[in-house]
Amino acid sequence: MNTASQNSPLGTAPIGKLLRQFAIPSIIAMLVSSLYNIVDQFFIGNAIGALGNAATNIAFPLNTSCVAVALLFGIGGASTFNLAMGRGDTKEAGSFIGNSVLVMVALGVVLSGITLIFLQPILLFCGSPADVLPYAMEYTRITALGFPFLILSIGGGHLVRADGSPKMTMAINIIGAVVNTILDALFVFVFQWGMKGAAWATVIGQVVASLVVIWYLFHYKTVSLTGNCFRPKGAVIERVASLGAAPCFNQLAMMLVQIVMNKTLKYYGAQSIYGESIPIACSGIIAKVSMLVMAFVIGISQGLQPIVSFNYGAKQYRRVKQALILALGSGACICAVSFVAFQLFPRQIISIFGDGSDLYFQFAENFFRKFLFFIGLCFMQPISANFFTAIGKPKKGIFMSLTRQIIFLLPLLLILPLFMGIDGVVYAGPVADLVATILCTLLVIGELRHPEFSKKE
């Protein structure tokens, strides 16, 4: 064990205590982050109705693209930073943080500009029906202004946690979400600004959260972030991107799948009794509710990251294995509880986001129960993908992050509806979840059979 390992609690403290210390704030941060979309969905659904809900679902892929960038340089920066600190290389570690921040802000500005210039074509490409398009444009024209702040608030939270401050990461997300919620109630219900009010509430919350991130960067604890750390370095950016690629590709895959699903639901919905808008509105609500469950799982995987990265860098492989097994067990318990809730109370959950016709609830209940039938298994893929990223094996992490969304779900969304109509979309979800879980489980077992995970230290 090197000197850095001896001096850091990441290398010596009990694994259970460390996972609670890092995962619980991460879970809270992810839950609060999810509220940005869910709170908007709640207020819009109750104030405007199904068309408003459908509009937020059409705009959601753009939000996902920002999250992808945030994870690319947030988790990538955190992983490279912790691996460097585990090796005792404090000089290099600061450059990973500075370059990550620089690129996140730059890409946020680029994404914002592209969206504002090509807004209508982008929303039509995302599958917007004609009656939903005006709402989607009104909402996205404003939220696009907040893309740099959204990226910095999410990605910066990972860099803050890597500095050993998970509670500050939690605070960053809570502050933004609380501001968003309060302003949503004020702008939508009191001022009756509708979609515009919900959008401005979201942007202002993101600005506040990103300002807290900037403040923290000036008070970084483990290394001093000098101006040289923020000087662009190609090798540093490449290394950060390689380790952040797995979660980034997972988000990009989610974005692509969401677009294909919207288009598929629109096309086959028009041929069914439900029409174009009802399936899109329902699938959007269900996707965001499932995000609450995945917030727990992703929070666990994010809490696992610094523990695994540091101990793998310090060659303490048994601690790496212990942390992974504990994380998987925790994720399994959470997903099992969600399965029971989603099977027993789908209508009650959907009703939170506004009222609708009998057809609306008929489709929503059926979609909820069947599409998320294997939600109980959905802990395996994100935790195991992040595990491989954390130990510096990004290619495996990228592959695993693509299994559920791209390799399995996307083809199923295109093929099954040809034979089953709109029901094909419903059944694509559980099939993809099951097959992806089996594959990821086999890959993790294979990794844990390597000699370093069984030998005594």
For 358-370, what is each residue's pLDDT tens digit?
888 999 999 999 9
Token pair belonging to 387: 């595990």
Identity of the amino acid at 411: P
For 138-163, what is each residue's pLDDT tens digit?
999 999 999 999 999 999 999 998 88
Task: Report the alpha-carbon distance of residue 172 to residue 168 in Å, rounded.
Answer: 6
H helix intervals, 314-449: 317-344, 346-351, 358-371, 380-390, 394-402, 410-420, 423-448
For residue 202, give the nearest of 277, 138, 295 by alpha carbon: 138
Task: Report the alpha-carbon distance of residue 350 to residue 117 in Å, rounded.
Answer: 35
Which residues does 243 contact at the CB level (< 8 Å), separation at least 6? 75, 76, 79, 80, 83, 389, 392, 394
Q: What's the pLDDT at 338?
A: 94
pLDDT per residue of the chain (457 residues) written in tens, 0 to 9: 554 445 577 777 888 888 888 888 778 867 876 776 677 778 888 888 878 888 888 998 999 899 999 999 998 999 899 888 877 777 788 899 999 999 999 999 999 999 999 999 999 999 999 989 999 999 999 999 999 999 999 999 999 988 888 889 888 888 988 899 999 999 998 999 989 999 999 999 999 999 999 999 988 988 888 888 899 899 999 999 988 887 788 788 788 888 999 999 999 999 999 998 899 988 888 888 888 898 899 889 988 888 888 888 888 888 888 999 999 999 999 999 999 999 999 999 988 887 778 888 999 999 999 999 999 999 999 899 889 888 888 788 878 878 888 889 999 999 999 999 999 999 999 999 999 999 999 999 988 888 777 665 5
For 367-385, what is each residue's pLDDT tens digit?
999 999 999 999 999 899 8
CA 442-444-445 angle, to 5 degrees, is: 65
